[in-house]
Structure 1
C-alpha cells in the first residue's frame, strides 16, 4: 500500500529509482546528486517559509479591509493544479514546489484570517497543536516507538480514502440539496469526526517519514528532495486545517 499523500507513493519513488538506474554503468555518478535527509529537511524549511510569507501577506491584507475569499480560493485551485502536475512530473518539483508553497500560503492565510475574525486566538492554538503533533510523531518514528509496517500502511490508507470519499459525497449532497453533513455544527458526533480525521492526518505523517527515509536509502535523484518536502507540507497543511475546524467547533456557542 502507498502513502495516501500522492507525492509520497511507492510508484513515483520507484520510477525515480528506475530512471537513475538507467544511467550507463560506465557513467560516473555524482553522489551529490542523490537525495539526502539533510537536503529534504532544508527544502521543507524553504517551502514552509514561503508558505508562511505568503500567508502573512493575505493575513495582513485581510485585517486591513481586503476580502480574503478570492485569493484563498484562487490559491487553493492553483495549488491543487501544481500538485497534480508534480505528481506526473516529479522531476519538475524544484520549480513546482516553491510555487505550490506560495499559492497554498494564500489559501492558508485567507482561511486563517476568516477563522481568526470569528474566534480570536484560534490560529495560534491551531499552529501550536500542529507543531506539537508533528514533533510527537517525528519523535515516535525516530525512536521506532511506532513502526510503519505494511498492515499499518493499509489501515491508514484505507481510513484516509474513506475520509476523502465521505468529504466528497457530503460536499456534493450539500451543494445540490438541503442535506446537512453530520460533520457540520458542533455536535458531539461532529466533534468526534474531526478528532478522528486529525488522528488519521497525524498517522499519515508516519507514512511520509517512512517514504522519505526509504528514498534516501535508495539514493533517489536530487529533485526528489523537493518532491518529498512538498508532500510533507501537504500533510501538514491538511493537519492544520483540521485543527482549525475542530477548535472552531469547540469554541462555537
Structure 2
C-alpha cells in the first residue's frame, strides 16, 4: 500500500514496490520472483545463500543481505537517534552562556538559528531521499539537538517552574500512551487519515515559514508564540504530533510484516524522532503559557 507520508513515500520497500535487491514484490509472500528467461548461475559457490523459509536461494553478485527490519532494530536505531538529540541538547545548554542581565546571548542565538535551519534542511533531504542515509539521519539529530538545547534554555530562563522537564516527561508519556492505544485498540490507519495528517503537517510548515518571513519585517502574527493565538496552533500541533506517531507505528508494523531491509530501521527512527520533537516543542509552548503569572 503506497504511503502519503514523504518520509516513507521515497522508500520502495515501505510501499511494497521492491525487496532488498530492488526486485518487484508480489502480494502473498513479499518475495521476489525470477523473470522468464533468467536462469540462476550456480557455478560460483560464493553466490549461494539460503532463502527465507529454508528454500535454496542465491545472493545477488556484489550485494550482501543485511537482514530484515525488526522491532528490535527499530528500537535500537530510534534509541541512538534520540540519544544524539539529547546529548547535543545538553551540550548546547551547558556550553552556551547563562541568560542573565547583560549576558552575551550571541552564541545561544547562533546555536538556535543554525540548529533550526540545518535541521529543517536535513529533514527535507531525509524525507525525500530514496535510499536512507544513517549519517544524514544522525546529522539531523545533532542539529535538532543543538536547536532544542538553545530553545529549551530560553524557555527555562523566561518561564522556569519545570517547563522543560515537564515537556520532556510529557513527550515520552505521549509516546507511551499513543503506542498503548495503537496496540490495545488496534487502530487502523486508512488512506484518508494519512492524507489529512500530511496535509495538516505541510499546512503547519507553511504557516511557520510565513511567520518567519513576517518576523523579518517586524510583522509577526504570533501564531507560534506563547499567547492565546499561539495556543491554538500549539494544541493543534500536539494533536498532529500524536497522529504522526500513529502513522509511524503503522508503517513500522507493515514494514516488519513485509520483511523490508534492516537499513529501513533508520528511516523509521528518523520519522519517530521528528514526531517526538514536534510533540516536545508544542508541549513546551503549552506549559510555558500556563506557567505565566
Shared topology, TM-score over 0.5? yes
Moved more, 177-186 or 41-50: 177-186
Distance change (3 Å), C-alpha of 1:168 and 1:131? same
Q: 1:217 and 2:282 equivalent?
A: no
Q: Please, what TM-score do these two structures have when normalized by structure 1?
A: 0.86
Does the 8 A contact of 1:20 with 1:220 survive in 2?
no
Does the 8 A contact of 2:238 with 2:282 survive in 1?
yes
Distance change (3 Å), C-alpha of 1:36 and 1:194? same
Residue 37 of structure 1 corresponds to: 71
Distance 1:144 1:20 in 2: 35
Q: Is the partner of 1:68 in helix, strand or coil?
A: helix
Distance 1:89 1:190 in 2: 32
Does the 8 A contact of 1:205 with 1:235 survive in 2?
yes
Unpaired segments ≥5 residues, structure 2: 24-31, 35-39, 41-57
Residue 85 of structure 2 corresponds to: 51
What is the count of residue pairs matched by the alignment? 251
Distance 1:177 1:118 in 2: 21
Unpaired segments ≥5 residues, structure 1: none
- TM-superposition CA deviations, 1:145-171 (whole Å, max 9, x none): 432122322332233233223333333
- TM-superposition CA deviations, 1:69-124 (whole Å, max 9, x none): 11222122222333333334453422212222122111111111111111112100
Distance 1:193 1:99 in 2: 28
Q: Is the partner of 1:35 in helix, strand or coil?
A: coil
Q: Please, what TM-score do these two structures have when normalized by structure 2?
A: 0.75
Q: Is the partner of 1:33 in helix, strand or coil?
A: coil
Does the 8 A contact of 1:34 with 1:220 survive in 2?
yes
Higher relative contact order (CA 8 A, sep 6+): 1
Q: Which has the larger radius of gyration?
A: 2
Distance 2:283 2:260 in 1: 33
Q: In structure 2, which of residues 96, 115, 120 is the aligned counterpart of residue 80 of structure 1? A: 120
Residue 178 of structure 1 corresponds to: 219
Residue 204 of structure 2 corresponds to: 163
Distance 1:72 1:211 in 2: 31
- In the TM superposition, residue 45 of structure 1 has moved relative to its aligned partner by 0.3
RMSD over aligned Cα atoms? 2.7
- In the TM superposition, residue 138 of structure 1 has moved relative to its aligned partner by 0.5
Whichever structure has more helix as a proportion of its residues is 1
1:99-248 matches, cutoff 5 A? 99-120=139-160, 121-176=162-217, 178-187=219-228, 189-248=229-288
Does the 8 A contact of 1:2 with 1:157 survive in 2?
no
Distance 1:100 1:15 in 2: 27
Does the 8 A contact of 2:10 with 2:130 survive in 1?
no
Does the 8 A contact of 1:20 with 1:221 survive in 2?
no
Distance 1:161 1:81 in 2: 15
